[in-house]
Amino acid sequence: MMSTTFSAADSALGYLYQVRVALLWSLRRAKQGGEFIVSLETLDDVTFESKGGTPKELLQAKHHRSREASLSNASADLWKSLRVWFEGYANGQIPAGTTLYLLTTGAAPKDSAAALLRSRSRDVAKALPILESVAQSSESHANAPAYAAFLAASGTARRTILDNVVVLDRASDVLTINDDLKNEVFWTAEQKHLDAFLQRLEGWWLRRVIKQLSANPEHAGILSGEIEAEMCELREQFKQDNLPIDEDVVAFTLDEETHAAHADYRFVHQLKLIDAGKKRVAAAIRDFYRAYEQRSRWVREDLLLVGDLTRYEGKLVEEWELVFEAAKDEIEATAAEAAKRKAARAVLAWAEQATIAIRPGVTEPFVVRGSFHMLADEAPPRVGWHPDFHDRLAEILNPSSTTPPEDAEGGDAR
């Protein structure tokens, strides 16, 4: 799709920037200690409140992608922010003493009002008359409502409000803010795993922000305790004896398309060989998909090495073999097919309940169950359920090269 002057890309980046900035600032405040509530799109782009609900800090986030935006004395970014704050004070929504931040990727020119409102080399007394002069003389129609709100305040009120305004220009953009975020979480995981850690933290944060924005009847703020709890949970998952389990993988439910796509897999044929019920087969496909997806992510992100998987699968095969051979010992080689399938379903039931962890802290059952089905799907399969699973699979997958034995129960081997 060709971009146009009406492209929504800049707006979309602006909203994403706002979400990432909110996370960055929340992490910094959490590190300082003390409880707070953070919300987006309430009193301001980002609002920080005390535990009691009193606004303490309001943040306007301005993102520019294609040009070096100038925070000049008549810039729209500056005056839109001032309008929000002056109107908020006028209607009583913003209490006195609330700190007002304007964070922008743009730059404040030397000696401009915005430059004089930075945290360093600050001179509010010099910035005030500059803004008053612009509001009284500018002919900008776009800024007119902001000028009106500014001039409606008394001289004393203007000075009081500006005393609380802090301009933070030349801020990191939506991409480079990633480095700032990594700096805040650098102590949570090994250096090589920080990207994977941050990806999961931001995924949780985005879901939480969506929940906050969609809450009815009012936006429910995000508690600092929630952020600390999620950080603690992720830290545990990234320890050497653990691995992260992704929420979207756990939440995956089998759909018809995925079910159909796996219908001819070896592990599914193995289940049909022993008359596993439809729901049991569906659960196996679900766990196979979950385990395959989660294990693939671990390998891609260097959280798990191929050698680790090889050792784990070796352990699974070794444990399975003990149970499988024990089940075979309990039935005669000439046993009826029904008896063989019953014994096979018992082996499968053991695999479904097994607690053989890939690492001590990984307790999600689908990892074990799905890994067994992955081994049952290899060519040739490394595990199986039916006592004669190698031969029976060959009959199913290569029917032209074998002559199936007559089924003892009068049915086929499937």
- Confidence band for 216, pLDDT divided at 50, 70 and 90: confident
User: Considering the domain boundaries, does residue 77 fall inside one?
Assistant: yes
Mean pLDDT within 385-394: 95
- Cα 27 to chain centroid distance, Å, stands at 16
Q: Which of 204, 237, 270 finishes a domain? A: 237
Q: What is the mean pLDDT of the chain?
A: 92
Residue, of 180 and 411, whose pLDDT is higher: 180
Same domain, 197 and 259: no
- Count structural domains, the chain: 2
Same domain, 154 and 254: no
- Cα 211 to chain centroid distance, Å, stands at 13
Q: Which of 237, 271, 295 finishes a domain? A: 237
Q: Is residue 51 pLDDT above 80, yes or no?
A: yes
User: Considering the domain boundaries, does residue 217 fall inside one?
Assistant: yes
Mean pLDDT within 93-122: 95
User: Considering the domain boundaries, does residue 411 fall inside one?
Assistant: no
* CA gap 366, 283 in Å, rounded: 10
Same domain, 266 and 393: yes
* CA gap 245, 31 in Å, rounded: 25
- Output the pTM of the full model: 0.85
Same domain, 159 and 179: yes
- Confidence band for 397, pLDDT divided at 50, 70 and 90: confident
Same domain, 159 and 289: no
Mean pLDDT within 320-343: 94
- pLDDT of 333 reads 77
User: Considering the domain boundaries, does residue 73 fall inside one?
Assistant: yes
Same domain, 188 and 218: yes
User: Considering the domain boundaries, does residue 35 fall inside one?
Assistant: yes
Q: Is residue 318 pLDDT above 80, yes or no?
A: yes
Q: Is residue 334 pLDDT above 90, yes or no?
A: no
- pLDDT of 68 reads 65
- Confidence band for 1, pLDDT divided at 50, 70 and 90: very low
- pLDDT of 401 reads 54
User: Residues of the chain with pLDDT > 70: what percent?
Assistant: 93
Residue 84, SS3? helix
Same domain, 196 and 308: no
- pLDDT of 414 reads 29
Q: Is residue 408 pLDDT above 80, yes or no?
A: no
Largest CA-CA distance found in the chain, in angstroms, rounded: 102
Same domain, 188 and 293: no
Q: Give start and end residues of each alpha helix (H) in 238-387.
A: 247-250, 256-261, 266-273, 278-300, 306-329, 337-353, 365-376
- pLDDT of 296 reads 96
CA dihedral 115, 166, 30, 13 (to 10 degrees): -70
User: Considering the domain boundaries, does residue 154 fall inside one?
Assistant: yes
- Confidence band for 141, pLDDT divided at 50, 70 and 90: very high
User: Considering the domain boundaries, does residue 213 fall inside one?
Assistant: yes
Task: Tell me if 279 sits within 8 A of 310, measured CB to CB.
Answer: no
Q: Is residue 52 pLDDT above 80, yes or no?
A: yes
Same domain, 218 and 258: no
Taking alpha carbons only, the member of 163, 137, 161 closest to residue 150 is 161
Same domain, 341 and 290: yes
User: Considering the domain boundaries, does residue 339 fall inside one?
Assistant: yes
Q: Which of 196, 216, 237 finishes a domain? A: 237
Same domain, 223 and 271: no
Residue, of 258 and 333, whose pLDDT is higher: 258
Residue numbers of the domain that contains 95: 9-237
Q: Is residue 267 pLDDT above 70, yes or no?
A: yes
Same domain, 90 and 213: yes
